[in-house]
Amino acid sequence: MAKAKTGDRYVCDECGMVVSVEGACTCDPCGLVCCDVPMVKAPGAARKAKKKAAPAKAKKAKAAVKPKAARR
């Protein structure tokens, strides 16, 4: 298995657990194991997954603005 890089995601095919790498691996190539099975690299980056998982912010409705009276 290649070195894990920051932003990589790995998925367990058995239970579905997802691991996001927050710190780059500096050791020799190693493997992530879950359920006694090596985890596979998921397509896409962890940053993209966070954006999808984050709840959408509700847009505030703008209050109706009354026109100002003309000055005399």
Strands of 1-72, DSSP E? 9-11, 18-20, 33-34, 37-38, 40-41
User: Distance between CA atoms of 7 and 26, rounded to whole angstroms?
Assistant: 14
User: Which residue type, as a one-letter code, is found at position 6?
Assistant: T
**Has this prediction a pTM greater than 0.75?**
no
Each of the 72 residues of the chain gets a pLDDT tens digit; together they read: 667 788 888 999 999 899 888 887 777 777 789 999 998 888 875 555 455 555 556 566 666 666 777 776
Question: Look-up: residue for tokens 């997802």?
Answer: 18
